[in-house]
Structure 1
Amino acid sequence: MAQTSDTSPTPLIETRGLTKRYPGVTALNAVDFDLRRGEVHVLFGENGAGKSTLISMLAGASTPSEGEIRLDGRPVAFHSVADARMAGISAVFQEFSLVPTLSVAENIFLGNELKTGPFIDRPAMRRAADALFARLDFRIDPRRRVSDLSRAEQQMVEIAKALQGEVSLLILDEPTASLTDREVDHLFRVVTAMKAHGVGIIYISHRIQEFARIADRITVLRDGTKIGTYPMQGTDEATLVELMAGRAISEIYPAIAHAPGAPLVTIRGLNAWGVNGIDLDIRPGEVLGVAGLVGSGKSRAFRAMMGLLPVTAGRVVWHGDASDRDVTGISTRAMMAAGAYYLPPDRKTEGLQLAFTVRDNLAQGVLPGLTGRGLLPWPRIRKTCEQVAERVELPPAYRGRLAAQLSGGNQQKTLFGRGLGRDYALYVFDEPTVGVDMGARAAIYRLIRDLAEAGKAVVVISSDLPEAMNLAHRLVVFSRGRIAAELGRDGISEAAVLAHFFAEEEEVA
C-alpha cells in the first residue's frame, strides 16, 4: 500500500524529526507528521507506540528532546498547555481534567470565566454552556456538579470544554470510549462541521470501525517510530491491524471451545436502579456476552449481582458443589468469597492502586487465597505474583513499576492478574479492553479463552460490539434496563444485535 505524499499548501501544523527521550527510554523517535486544514488525521498504534507522547508535545503538555514543531510554516515552542491554547490548539485527553466539585458551566469556562465588572457572571456562563451543548446536541444541564455526572456525560463536558473559544486545531484522544452510538453520531457531525470551517483534527482511537466515517489520512506508529502515513480511502481494517501490531486481524480473536455445564448462577426477576426484571443463567465452560448501549442496564445488572448496587427485588442463587445458596444482596466481599470476581470498567478509580507497584497490586489479589492465621507466607505470595505476571504477559521490567506509570494495556493486564491470584468459579469482565490497543486485547482475549476452557463461567460486558460478538458463545442484549434478546452462537450477527438495541425504544416511542 502506497504512503501519501504531501503536495498540499503549508500544513496547519507539522513536526520534523520530533523526538522525546525519558531516562532509559526513547518514547518518540524522529517522527515527521503533518496536519492539513480541514482534515481528520488519525494517529493509530498500540499503547506505548508514541501517540500520547506526540500529542502531548503538540498540545504544550511536554517539550521535545529534539526536532521541531511548525505552525503555519513557522517554528513554535509551546511551554505550557495555555501557550498552545492561545495558538488555537485544544486537546481532549483520555484522562479527564475536570474539577469534580465545580458545576459543568464552571468547568467549561475554568480559567476563562465570563465576568461583569470584577464579578464572575455565572448566569452568562450557564447560557453560553447551554448554547454550546445545543450546538453539539448533548443533553446536559450546565448547573449540575461534575461529580454527579456519568462517565459518558463527563466525556461530553470535556469535548465541549475543548470547543469553547477559537479553535484551529483540535486533538481528540479516545473521545468515543464512553459515548453511546447516538452521542458518537453527534460528535462526528460536529467534527464534519469543523472540517468544513477549516479546523484540523488529530484523532486517536482504538476503534478502527470509526476511521472510515471521519478520517482522511492515518499515520501508524509502532514502538515510538513512524511506520507510514496512508490515505483512508482504500485502506482496510485488516491492513491497519497488520501495520500497527505486526499480526493479522484473524489472530486477534481466538477460537474458544464451548462446553457449558449446569448453571452456576441463576438470576430471576432482578430489579435494581436502572434494571427491570432480569432473568438469566450463567454457566461454566461458556463465555456469556453482554451487549447494549451506554445506560441500557447491562453493567448495573451485574453490579447488583455482585453487591455493588442495592437489589430491590428478585433472587440471585449460587449453585455450589454442596448446596444452593441465596446470595441476593450480599456484600461484594461475600460474593468474592463465594467464588465470583468482578473486573470494573474504570481501572483507575475502582480497580488498581495506582501508587502501588504492579507486584503489590497483584499481591492484593493473591492474599485472600493464601492468608490464614500467623505470619503471611511472603515467599509463596511473591512466587504466585510472578506466575500471575507471566500468565498475563507482563514483562519483568514492568513488574516493579508503579501502576500509574504503565500504559493502559499493561494496567488492564495487571487488573486481570488480580483476578487470577485466586481460583474463582465466575469471572465478570465489565468493559475488559476499554482504551486498550489490539496487541494487549489479543493477550486479554487469550486469558478469557483459557478461563472458559478451564471450566470457568465467564461474562464479558462490552460496548465494543465486535468484541462481544466474537467472544460470546451466548449473547444477551440489554435495552432500557431489560434483556431484549438472548442469542445463541448461530444467531449472533451485527444486524440482529443492533435491531434489539433500539427495539424497545421504538415500542415505547
Structure 2
Amino acid sequence: MDVDTAPKPAGPLLALRGISKRFTGVRALDRVDLDVHAGELHVLFGENGAGKSTLINVVSGTFPPDEGTFQFGGEDISHLTPQRARAIGISPVFQEFSLVPSLTVEENLFLGREITRGGVLHAREMRKRAAALIDELGFDLDPSQRVDDLSRAHQQMAEIAKALLGRVRLLILDEPTASLTERETGRLFELIARLKSQNIGLIYVSHRMREIRALADRVTVLRDGRHIRTLDAATSTDSELVELMTGRKIDLLFPTITHKPDKVMVDVENLTSADGSVRDVNFHARAGEITGIAGLVGCGKSELIRAIYGIEPIASGTVRIDGRPYEFPAPRRSLKRGMAYFPANRIVEGLALSRPIRENASMTALDLPAFAGFGVLRQAAERIAIKGVMEQLQLRPPNIERPAGMLSGGNRQKVMLGRALTRELSVFLFDEPSVGIDVGAKLEVYEFMKRLVGTGAAVIVVSSELPEVLALSNRLYVMHHGRIAAELSGTEKTEQNVLAGFFREHLLAEVA
C-alpha cells in the first residue's frame, strides 16, 4: 500500500458543489454538496434510495454528474473515469464486488495494472507484492486461492486489498462490515485508524449506529437525493440522525409483536449437513411466533435454515413440516409445502437483477392457475397481482417494469417479500433480513414479520445483529460451531445469556 506523504492540505481533499444526477424518470441527486478532509472519516447516512450509492459512483468516476463542480486535492476535475479516479488516488470498495470469480486473489489485485518486464508478465513480483499487502492489512487471505472458492467475508477482504494497492488518497467503503465477523470487523477498524493517521480520507457508507459512533468524524445525511445536513459525529445523537434521515420521529426501532405460540410447524431432530457446518441440531419453530437463531458469522445458523429449505444437502437427521416427515428437501417442493426462504445475499441468490420487478416478484408463483394455464403465462393477471402486492409493500417508485438491479437494497428486499404474498405460505425463513438496508426499510420488514405472526405463520429469523434477534423473537436459539449452544425464552432471553451460552460452548469445545 503506497501512502500519500504530501503535507495535509489546508482545504478539503474532496469538494463537491451542487452535484446533480438524473436517470430515466428519476432525479437521483439534487444539488448535493460534500466535503471530505484528509485524515477524516466522513459517513454518508440515509435511507435506501436516498442517493448514497449514486454519489459514491460519481466520486469514483462511474457516473458523470449532470451539474455541479468536483474538486480533488485543490484541482478541478471533469470527465472522470474509474481508471482516472484510481490514477489520482480515489479507490472505491462497493457492496457489489468487482472481482473476477475464475481468477486468483493476486490476479484480481493486479487486473488492469499487471507488472511486466520487457513485455513479459512478472508473476513472481506480483505474488510477492500481493502477499506483502495482505500481510500488512492483517487479513487471513491466501493470495493464490481462486475468488469463487472464497467465502463472502474473504471476498470482501480481497476487494479492500485491491482498493489499497497503489497510491491511495481517498478510500470509499460501502457497507464494508456486512459480511465480516466481529474479529474481522475489529481488524478493519484498526486498518481505518491507521489510514486516517496517514492522512488518507475516507467516505464510509453505513446504516449501523455502532460503527458511526466508533469511526465517524462527520456525518452527512441524504434524503430523496438531497443534502439535508452535515453534523459532527461527536455532538449528534442517534435519534437526531434517524429523524434527519427519515424526515419523521422514530421512537421505537422494533415493533411490539404479540406472539401466540401454537402447533409446531418445523421440527428438526439430530440434523447434520453434508458439509458438517450443522451438526446434530435439534430445533423447532411454532406457528404464531418468531423463532430466532443467533450466532457469529460462520456458526452454522444460515446453513441450518438453508438445509431445512433444501439448498444445503443433509447427511443425516429428520425434518418435519406441519407434523409430516419431509425427506430430501428441495426449494420447489418446499414452496409447495408452504415454506418461503429469503436469502441474505439478495444479489447472488435472491433476484434476477436484469429482469423487471414484476417477473422477480411472481417467479415463485408461476405454477399457480391464477398466473398460468396450459403452460402459458397469464400476463395481465400477473401484472395486476404484482402491482397490488408492490403497492401494499410501498415500493418506491412503484413502477413494476423497472429492472430489479436499479433498486436500492431496501426496495430489493421488498420485491423478495412480495413473493410471500403471491401464494399461500405458512413458514417463513429469513436469513439476515436487515443486512444492507436502512432504518426505515428495517421497520417495514419488521412490521411485515409482525403481520405474518398475526396471521398464525411460523417465522424463523437468522441474524448476526443481537439486538434485532433479541427484540423480534419469542424463543431464541444460540449456535456455535454448528451446534445449538443454548435455547432461551421469557426472562432468560437476554444479551448476557446469549453471550454466556456462546462462551460456555466455546470453552467446552476447547476442553474437549
TM alignment of 1:306-455, pairs within 5 A: 306-319=309-322, 324-370=323-369, 374=374, 378-395=379-396, 397-455=398-456
TM alignment of 1:165-180, pairs within 5 A: 165-180=166-181
Structure-2 residue corresponding to 1:296: 299
Amino acid at match of 1:206: H
Deviates most, 375-384 or 230-239: 375-384
Once superposed, what is the RMSD of the aligned Cα atoms? Answer: 1.8
Question: Aligned residues, how many?
Answer: 498
Structure-2 residue corresponding to 1:94: 95
State the Cα deviation string for residues 37-90 of structure 1 (Å, max 9, x = none): 111010100111111121111111111111111112221124211111111111
CA distance in 1, matches of 2:254, 2:247: 15
Percent of pairs with identical residues: 45
State the Cα deviation string for residues 152-208 of structure 1 (Å, max 9, x = none): 111111011111111111010111111111111000000000101111111001112
Q: How far 1:369 moved relative to its partner?
A: 3.4
Asked if the contact 1:366/1:384 (under 8 Å) is kept, the reply is no
Q: Are residues 81 and 381 of structure 1, via their aligned partners in 2, closer, same or farther at CA, if it must alter by over 3 Å?
A: closer
CA distance in 1, matches of 2:167, 2:379: 57
TM alignment of 1:77-226, pairs within 5 A: 77-226=78-227
Deviates most, 50-59 or 275-284: 50-59
Asked if the contact 1:317/1:326 (under 8 Å) is kept, the reply is yes
Q: Are residues 489 and 68 of structure 1, via their aligned partners in 2, closer, same or farther at CA, if it must alter by over 3 Å?
A: farther
Q: Are residues 201 and 16 of structure 1, via their aligned partners in 2, closer, same or farther at CA, if it must alter by over 3 Å?
A: same
Q: Are residues 396 and 211 of structure 1, via their aligned partners in 2, closer, same or farther at CA, if it must alter by over 3 Å?
A: closer
SS in 2 for 1:350: helix
Q: How far 1:123 moved relative to its partner?
A: 3.0
Amino acid at match of 1:37: A
Q: Are residues 170 and 398 of structure 1, via their aligned partners in 2, closer, same or farther at CA, if it must alter by over 3 Å?
A: same
Amino acid at match of 1:9: A
Q: Are residues 507 and 451 of structure 1, via their aligned partners in 2, closer, same or farther at CA, if it must alter by over 3 Å?
A: same
CA distance in 1, matches of 2:503, 2:197: 31
Asked if the contact 1:291/1:476 (under 8 Å) is kept, the reply is yes
CA distance in 1, matches of 2:37, 2:355: 42
Asked if the contact 1:461/1:468 (under 8 Å) is kept, the reply is yes
CA distance in 2, matches of 1:168, 1:508: 45
SS in 2 for 1:366: coil
State the Cα deviation string for residues 266-312 of structure 1 (Å, max 9, x = none): 10110012111110111000011111111110010111111111111
Asked if the contact 1:91/1:172 (under 8 Å) is kept, the reply is yes
Q: How far 1:395 moved relative to its partner?
A: 4.3
State the Cα deviation string for residues 290-342 of structure 1 (Å, max 9, x = none): 111111100101111111111111111123xxxx3211333221122111111
Structure-1 residue corresponding to 2:3: none
CA distance in 1, matches of 2:214, 2:347: 30
Amino acid at match of 1:234: T
2:308 is equivalent to residue 305 of structure 1: yes
Structure-2 residue corresponding to 1:481: 482
TM-score normalised over the length of structure 1? 0.94
Asked if the contact 1:472/1:489 (under 8 Å) is kept, the reply is no
Amino acid at match of 1:49: A
CA distance in 2, matches of 1:178, 1:447: 24
TM-score normalised over the length of structure 2? 0.93
Structure 1: which 5+ runs fail to align?
Answer: 1-7
Asked if the contact 2:409/2:436 (under 8 Å) is kept, the reply is yes
Q: Are residues 9 and 501 of structure 1, via their aligned partners in 2, closer, same or farther at CA, if it must alter by over 3 Å?
A: farther
2:498 is equivalent to residue 497 of structure 1: yes
Structure-2 residue corresponding to 1:4: none
Structure 2: which 5+ runs fail to align?
Answer: 1-8
Q: How far 1:422 moved relative to its partner?
A: 0.9
Among 268, 282, 286, which residue is 1:283 paired with?
286
SS in 2 for 1:171: strand
CA distance in 2, matches of 1:42, 1:74: 23
CA distance in 2, matches of 1:271, 1:119: 50
Q: Are residues 395 and 205 of structure 1, via their aligned partners in 2, closer, same or farther at CA, if it must alter by over 3 Å?
A: closer
Asked if the contact 1:366/1:381 (under 8 Å) is kept, the reply is no
Asked if the contact 1:91/1:171 (under 8 Å) is kept, the reply is yes
Q: After the TM superposition, which segments of 4 or more aligned residues of structure 1 sit over 6 Å from their partners?
A: none
SS in 2 for 1:443: helix
Asked if the contact 1:21/1:65 (under 8 Å) is kept, the reply is yes
Q: Are residues 326 and 388 of structure 1, via their aligned partners in 2, closer, same or farther at CA, if it must alter by over 3 Å?
A: same
Q: How far 1:499 moved relative to its partner?
A: 3.7
